[in-house]
Structure 1
Amino acid sequence: MTPFNRLQRYRTPLAALLGLVATLGFPPFGLWPLSIAAFAGLFALTAGSGVRRSLWLGWVFGFAHFLSGIYWIFISTSIYGGAPAWLGVLLTVVLSGAYMAPWPALALGLATWLRVWTRPAGWLALPALWLLTELGRGHLLFDGFPWLSLGYVTVGTPLQKLAPLAGVHGISAVLVLLAYALWQAVGGRGTQRRVALAAFALTAAAIAVLPDPVRWTQALGAPLDVAIVQGDIPQEEKWLPEMQLPTLRAYRDMTLAVRGADLVIWPEAALTQTYDEVKEDYLDPLAAQLAQDGTTLLAGMLIEEKAGLNYYNSVVAIGASQGRYDKRHLVPFGEYFPIPRWLRPLLDVLNTPYADLSAARAPLPPIIAKGLRLGVTICFEDVFASDFRAAATDAALMVNVTNDAWFGHSAAAAQHLQMARMRALETGRTVLRASNTGVSAVIGADGTLQAAAGFFTRETLRAPAQPRSGTTPYVRLGNAPLWGLALVAIVVALRGRRGGAHGSLEVP
């Protein structure tokens, strides 16, 4: 009897523990081998179980993993968002348990139903099942929530070479394959162990021969002189009336201090006034001064249209270049409440603040600076690889403005930065990231932090940023090949299942 088998009686608490261990692979810990080990342990617990038990173990693992990874939802909704504490707890638990955790449960339940644990088909079917459920989690229900996709743990490791080819979800499938191999290497025998060792060797060889991520695209002209203004306005003070004037002065003074830079970037919603409220007396004079020096400012602003009927979370270009980008992918429960209008009065009764922003109605002309097209995203839009990929098409530089102050000193800011680094790897583009309280950064096409500001510091990050041209395979093809290959693997596993007994529905 293997050590794994002796632990079967404690499967439920062990599944929860393994879910917590899986979180250690993500920031701020970064212990990525533990994530692979946690998945290997989960497979060991699940193999031999019936479908119902597999579903249960997958849910317990997922709930512990996601709850420990996105606990900061409570901070953003209740501590800074003004929602009652009970609602913050409810949203965090429901998002973790009712939306995110069922996807791992589905993957393991289907794996057991397909009987792949003891068949050669498991080598392809299990990564395929995880891939499909991770893709589903990132696209369905309120536009999806792909936070904590497993592949992110490889940022800064040799496995990140896969990003320009397969994106974060393709890397997730490879990590599940390695976890399956680890389980077979430890708990298997004979041929199983030899195949597991071969899987490790083939993966290592493939990573060794793949080109560095930066080689998929090419430098385009000379670097731009970029200044990223990190205002560090505390979230609990930002919207106070008495903070309006100090904030206006801070951003103006910090911007004028870097006059002559090619590009200056402010964070998301840097000012609490709308664009029209500050245009004539504040933005227009600032734009005139910047234009004299050939400087373009990208300012995160709120734009009001139709007498308050529509508010847009936007980036406005002023100075040497003009333009506008409106956010398309809004954050549910943050920027809009996805509940029917007839239920809105209930929120008033419960003393729950809510307000809806408007999503961009149609694409606007791209923002051009120094003759270069900028791909702009706002806040969580860089969490969605498909959205970022679309914005990167024909763009020489990528810009993301955000306000991670909503999450305090939690792990969210570091996790968000890791995702931005993955986007740079996938697209082969330099990413310019402006965050109110940090971490603002210039991220190279190889995912490295070429320059970074501090966390909760007021400073201006000035650094060269290299425009790039060319297209990575992931930008060209997206996730379509992943969907196709995963479905083929499931069909093969399904055909192989027909000749044997059905997966048991009993709970051992």
Structure 2
Amino acid sequence: MYGVGTSWVHNSFLAIGDISSEVSILVTALFVLASAVIFMGVVAIIQAIWVRLPRFVQTGEKAYTLSFSVSKESRRYSALGTALGWIAFEIVNTLMVSDIAFPWLQAGYAFIDTWLVGLATVGGVALVSFFVLVTAIALYRIQRIRIFTMVLAIFPWLLGIGLINVPWTQPIEEKEIVLVQSNLSITEKLAADGFTQSWRTQTRLSMEEVGADFVIWPEGALPTTLSSEVKDSLYTLAAHTRASMIVGMFGESMSENYEVVLHNIAVGVSKFAPEYEEYKKLKMAPFGEKIPFEPILGPIVRWLDIPIRSIDSGIEAQDNMVLDGVNVGVTICYEIAFPSYIANRSRGAEFLVTLSEDGWFGNSIGPAQHMQIARMRSIETGRYLARATTKGISGIVNPKGRIISTMPANERGVVRGTIHTMEGETWFVRYASKLPGWIWGAFAVLGGGFLSAFAGVLGMLFLRRFVSTANDASDSDEDAEVEGATEEEDAEIDLRMTAE
């Protein structure tokens, strides 16, 4: 799973520059191995706990006892324990410390174009993943308990159809959005004339789209730090295009140790007045923007001569941007993979914006995966989402996760489309995304226990019916055998009497 699904990590290390292919392959292999070991470890632990959960075992006709042993009955539903372990890993991976969090390959993302995706409006991608696994288990066991497994396999899909069509959020007004995709490589942006080339390319594309309400440039669109000169230039452009702007670049601030630290930021510029909003990226990509567990892994990274520049995180309590009266929930790149964080940013927001630099992925499956993840966030939050990237895939997504306007990767141009600002909240945003991780885990175990108990009850009913039928058939066979034996004995007696 990780070997294929995160193969783009190799491209990302090569894109950093000054890294040999051998070192990149080694680091990627270690990353895949570590991810797989953590995944298997969590699944194995949850399954081991699951099969040892206390169960009432029948010891007589009307006698039951509480058992903690691994029984034949518990092994029968061990696959459900595997599913619970899988989901526990997915949930923990979105809630753990950002140094090592990597919530990328959730099973639910692969089913975003199916009926099952409607469940994301109430439980997020984790609930979709859970019922994907439940469906797989049901299909695997379909020959053993047919009616129950058929119901278990079909019901979530039918429920998903209903949930995706619930009007969780309501439109307010139309807005015209323009996304600029410069198709400049990372090397071009970091060159000596990188700022000039980036400014000219994106300015020209923006000025061709006069009349939009918002013009959005991608993450790191300007390879420079925010200054008063840059602010003035952006306001002049916003006033000329008559569009508010959101632009990705870098910012600097003073740390507690009085050191200048770098931030990955998005700047909002009003078209009516020189007023600016700022958002600092909170969740850093491991090894891309920050070395996780610096005291331990830092020396290894430096020994391998991997040029990673540490970027400082923003604070979690950041207000949304308000541009020309519109509340915009802005996030940057890797943050889109965190369901609860995006749900938090969507509260009060009328539409969502995510800026990304997907040039790090190279020509891999990474950009397509990233867009797929962004589409899931639209469904979970019931919001339109505008995704601006440097090299693609840029696009506008509606609240049902459908791409309404896009541009392929590795092309230069703009994506233009109409969105609706939205109000209201999905059940996931209002309730589920606020739950702490341990409560999610409890729900998973209790939900799994309910399914297991339900399966056990139905299984016992079917088993009793089968046993009853088998016993009746057996009794009939025994009666026939006895009857036959009696007739044979009578015949033998008659023969002996005749012989005498």
TM-score (norm 2): 0.78
Separation in 1, partners of 2:166, 2:311: 37
Deviation of 1:121 (Å) = 4.9
- After superposition, what is the alpha-carbon deviation per residue over 1:95-133, rounded to whole angstroms, capped at 9, x for unaligned? 222234432453246435615885465575443332212
Question: 320, 333, 339: which is aligned to 1:366?
Answer: 320
Counterpart secondary structure, 2:416: strand
Distance change (3 Å), C-alpha of 1:270 and 1:199: same
Whether the 8 Å CA contact 2:266–2:279 is kept in 1: the answer is: yes
Per the TM alignment, residue 226 of structure 1 is displaced from its structure 2 partner at its CA by 0.9
Partner of 1:5: none
Please name the residue that 2:443 is paired with.
485
- The answer to whether residue 403 in structure 2 is matched with residue 449 in structure 1 is yes
CA distance in 1, matches of 2:71, 2:94: 25
Post-superposition Cα deviations, 1:37-67, rounded to whole Å, max 9, x if no partner, equal xxxxxxxxxxxxxxxxxxxxxxxxxxxx111
Contact residue 121 and residue 427 of structure 2 kept, 8 A: yes
- How far is 1:428 from its partner? 0.2
Q: Structure 1 residues 244, 117: closer, same or farther in 2, change over 3 A?
A: farther
Cα distance, 1:339 vs structure 2:
3.9
Residue 474 of structure 2 is matched in structure 1 by none
The answer for unaligned runs of 5 or more in structure 1 is 1-64, 497-508
Shift of 1:350: 3.8
1:303 — aligned with what?
251
Distance 1:308-1:194 versus aligned 2 partners, 3 A rule: same
Between 1:102-111 and 1:425-434, the stretch displaced more is 102-111
CA distance in 1, matches of 2:150, 2:308: 54
2:187 equivalent to 1:236: yes
Question: What's the CA shift for 1:344?
Answer: 4.5
Counterpart of 2:56 in structure 1 is none
Unaligned 5+ runs, structure 2? 52-69, 455-500
Shift of 1:477: 1.7
Aligned to 1:97: 33
Q: Distance in 2 between matches of 1:439 and 1:67?
A: 23
Moved more, 354-363 or 304-313: 304-313
Pair 1:153-2:107 in alignment:
no
**1:396/1:245 Cα in 2 relative to 1: closer, same or farther (>3 Å)?**
same
Which position in structure 1 is the counterpart of 2:138?
181
Give 1:216's aligned residue: 168
Q: Higher mean Cα deviation, 137-146 or 152-161?
A: 137-146
Q: Aligned runs of 1:254-273 on 2, under 5 Å?
A: 254-273=205-224
Query: Structure 1 residues 248 and 310 mapped into 2: Cα distance closer, same or farther (>3 Å)?
Result: same
Give the 5 Å matches for 1:193-342. 193-208=146-161, 210-213=162-165, 215-220=167-172, 222-276=173-227, 279-280=228-229, 282-291=230-239, 294-306=242-254, 309-320=260-271, 321-341=275-295
Aligned to 1:381: 335
Name the counterpart of 2:6: 70
Report the CA distance shift for 1:82/1:193 in structure 2 as closer, same or farther (over 3 A): farther
Q: Alpha-carbon deviations, 1:262-284, whole Å to 9, x = none?
A: 111000000112222xx42x541
In 1, the alpha carbon distance for the partners of 2:377 and 2:297 equals 37
CA–CA distance in 1 between the matches of 2:72 and 2:425?
38
Instruction: Check 1:247–1:89 CA distance in 2 against 1; reply closer, same or farther (3 A cut).
Output: same
Mapped to 1, the partners of 2:158 and 2:224 lie a distance apart of: 55
CA–CA distance in 2 between the matches of 1:211 and 1:348? 50
Secondary structure of the residue aligned to 2:396 is strand
Larger radius of gyration: 2
Aligned residue type for 2:159: A
Report the residue type matching 1:483 in the other structure. G
The alignment partner of 1:215 has SS state of: coil
**CA distance in structure 1 between the aligned counterparts of 2:418 and 2:24, rounded to whole angstroms:** 41
Aligned counterpart, 1:412? 366
RMSD: 2.7
Higher RCO (C-alpha 8 Å, min separation 6): 1
Question: Structure 1 residue 70: deviation in Å?
Answer: 0.1
Distance 1:272 1:98 in 2: 33
The number of aligned residues is: 423
User: Structure 2 vs 1, CA of residues 439 and 101 (structure 1 numbering), >3 Å: closer, same or farther?
Assistant: same
- Superposed CA deviations along residues 234-273 of structure 1, whole A, max 9, x for unmatched, are 1232211133322211112222222331111000000112
Pick closer, same or farther for the CA change 1:207–1:344 going to 2, 3 Å. Answer: closer
Q: Which moved more, 1:124-133 or 1:405-414?
A: 124-133
- Comparing 480-489 and 192-201, the one that deviates more: 480-489
Tell me the SS of whatever aligns to 1:419: helix
Stretch moving more, 326-335 or 284-293: 284-293
Give the residue type in structure 2 aligned to 1:398: L
Which deviates the most, 485-494 or 293-302?
485-494
1:134 equivalent to 2:82? Answer: no
Report the residue type matching 2:307 in the other structure: P
- The answer on 1:162 being equivalent to 2:119 is yes
Q: How big is each residue's C-alpha offset from its partner over 1:480-505, in whole Å with a ceiling of 9 and x where there is no partner?
A: 36433213256789999xxxxxxxxx
Q: After alignment, is 100-109 or 464-473 more displaced?
A: 100-109
- Amino acid corresponding to residue 427 of structure 2 in structure 1: P
**1:460-499 correspondence to structure 2 within 5 Å:** 460-479=414-433, 480=435, 482-489=440-447
Equivalent position SS for 2:263: strand
The one-letter amino acid paired with 1:484 is A
CA 1:101–1:139 in 2, change beyond 3 Å: closer, same or farther? farther
CA contact (8 A) 1:228 1:266 kept: yes
Give yes or no for contact 1:104–1:133 (8 Å, CA) kept in 2.
Answer: no
SS of equivalent to 1:173: helix
Give the Cα separation in 1 of the matches to 2:195 and 2:27. Answer: 31
TM-score under structure 1 length normalisation? 0.77
